[in-house]
Structure formats: structure tokens, C-alpha cells
Amino acid sequence: MRVDCSRGPLTTNPLDFWIQHVIFPVQCIGFLTLAITVIYNVLKGRTKHVARWSLLFLAIVDVLIFACLVPQSLGTFRALYENEQFRRFYQLARIRLYAFSNQLSAVDTSIFLLIIIEIYLRARGSTMTKALFGGKAVFLCIATAITGALMISSFHHFSYSPKIWFNCSDENGVPTKMFSKITMNSAYMTKDLFIWLHMASALLLIFIPTILVYFLVYRITRSINSGRTGCDVANEAMELFSSAEGLLLQRKKITVYLPMVAHSFALTHVLSVVPFVWEFFLFHWLGFKGYSITISIMNALLICGKIANFGLLYLSCVEMGRNGLLNY
């Protein structure tokens, strides 16, 4: 007689189910709308903004990050979580999806920092702007940033391995329900190496970029507030308002958006440290109590942060372009 093999959602807790089933689809639709708008505006040249190509690559990378997260959300819909073929695909692919999402997040950080550097150089009127971001040179900078980020974060692909087992046999005794658990890949990793790689990644992709973003944003806002920018041509604000007040209003927008970008970037990246801190410092006292719920909330906030980072950075680039910083 066949055993009833009930299959539930591919989530870790009830809160995670509602986040993946309701909140993530809304986040996904909102982000895709923003990303498509940015890509269209960049390719069609509908708005004046700096860092055109970097913004385009950043939008594409963020779309790919969301694509890596979609299967987990799909696993909350009955038609899919009751389908054994989909369950097996997800169980076997989630380590690769996790690794790719981490690599893409590293690329996101590197391109984000590259855009901030370009804004800084333009705001300062630096002669390095044309050398680094003029013509085809910008593609070399972008390729270097992407390659470096991919190399630094490549360890995610061999850090983990799936522990697979089956349950609930059919009438012929054939196991029909797959389970899997992510464990450290002992074939390539030791605990010490695992810790050092994650610490190096956190240093190079979280802490140093966050400090640089804050420092550069501070210098940019100081340059703009003091009037020491690389703008020596008529800008859109002056064309619209035909007065110094128009230019001051335009610059005020930049000095509001850029600090918001820095704060959002910092908060988002600090959240990324939570799993590492819990696993290596808090686990001794707390164990797994509350871990899955904490991670579910953290992931939802991270996605909100990525959307905010992208939107605020795009607005900053638009306002910088309107301020007359498109020229070298």
C-alpha cells in the first residue's frame, strides 16, 4: 500500500513562508519596475546622469540576484512544492544559487563603489575622470571590478555541500521524497579556513567598501556645498530656473541623496554580517534558537536595502548630471 507522502512549503519557518510568498513577490515586482525604467532611460538617453554604463551593469547584476532568489519564493506555492521534480531541482541547485547570489552581491558592491568613485572624481573636477571613465576606459574599469569581486567571492562555490537523504517510500519500496541539508564541504574546507575566508570576504566586500563610501560621500558633499565642483558649463538647473537659487536647489538635492545612499549602503552591508556573527560567536550561547527567524527577517531587509541602494544611487547620478557634471 502506498504511503501518503505529504509535502510542505520549501521554507524554514512560518514567517519565512509569508515573507517568500507575499513580501518577496511585491519586492520583486517593485525592483523590476525600477530596473527596467533605469535600463530604458540609460539606453535611450532620456535623462542626463553620470555613470551611465556602470548603472546599466549594476541594474543587470541586481536583476540576476533577484533571479537567484526566485526559486525559494516559488517553493511556497502549492503547485510547485508538491511537485517532487521541482523539490529535487531546488534541493540540488540551492547551493549553486546561494553561491551565485553571493558572488553577484560582491559584484554589486564593487560596481556601486565604482559609481561613487566616478561621482567623486567628477565632483572634484579631477583629470582622472576622463582617463578612468571616458570612452572605452570605463568598460575596462567595470570589467576589472567585476573580475575582482568574482575572484574574491568564488570560495562560496566550494564551501558547502548538500547532505541528501530520502524518506517516504512508495509501494515498491523506492524512496520518493528528497530532503537535503547544507553542510560545510569537508573535502575542500577546514573550519579555520572557512572562518578566514569569510573574514577576508567581510573585510574586502563589506567593511572597506562601507568606509570608502562614507569617506567619498563626505568629500563630495563638502565640494558641492563649498561650490568647488567640476561644473563650468550651464547646467539644467540654471536652464530651468535661470537663477542661482535654481542651482542651489539642485545641489541641495545631491547633498540629501548621497548621504542617504551611504547610510542605506552601510545598513544593508552590516546586515550581511549577521549569519557569520551568529555562527561563529553567538552559536555557543544561543544555538539555533531564533536563528531561522532572524535570518528570514535579515534577508527581507537586505532585499529592501538593495532596492533602496539602487534607487537612491540612480537619483544621485541623475541629479549630478543635471548639475552639469557630464563633461570632463
- Domain extents in the chain: 14-322
Task: Please tell me which residue, 144 or 277, carries the higher pLDDT value.
Answer: 144
Least confident stretch, 79-88, 206-215, 284-293: 284-293
pLDDT at residue 60 greater than cutoff 70: yes
Query: Smallest Cα–Cα separation from 143: which of 101, 103, 99, 110?
Result: 110
Q: What is the pLDDT of residues 204-217, one digit of tens each?
A: 999 999 999 999 99
Task: Please tell me which residue, 5 or 231, carries the higher pLDDT value.
Answer: 5
Cell of 69: 532568489
pLDDT at residue 17 greater than cutoff 70: yes
- Confidence at residue 175, expressed as pLDDT on a 0 to 100 scale: 65
pLDDT at residue 311 greater than cutoff 90: yes
Chain centre distance of CA 69: 11
For the whole model, what pTM was predicted? 0.86
- Confidence at residue 77, expressed as pLDDT on a 0 to 100 scale: 92
- Confidence at residue 253, expressed as pLDDT on a 0 to 100 scale: 79
14-322 is classed CATH 3.40.190.10: no
With H, G, I as helix, E, B as strand and everything else as coil, classify residue 204. helix
Span 146-164, mean pLDDT?
Answer: 89
Least confident stretch, 91-95, 153-157, 166-170: 166-170
Whether 169 and 154 have beta carbons less than 8 Å apart is answered as no
CA distance 301 to 259: 19
- Confidence at residue 124, expressed as pLDDT on a 0 to 100 scale: 81
List, in sequence order, the alpha helices (H) in the chain: 14-18, 24-44, 52-74, 78-81, 84-124, 128-133, 137-152, 156-159, 191-202, 208-226, 236-241, 244-271, 274-277, 283-286, 291-322
Residue 205 Cα distances to 7, 122, 150, 209, angstroms:
38, 24, 11, 6
Q: What is the pLDDT of residues 245-273, one digit of tens each?
A: 556 666 777 888 899 999 999 998 888 88
Span 166-189, mean pLDDT?
Answer: 74
pLDDT at residue 219 greater than cutoff 60: yes
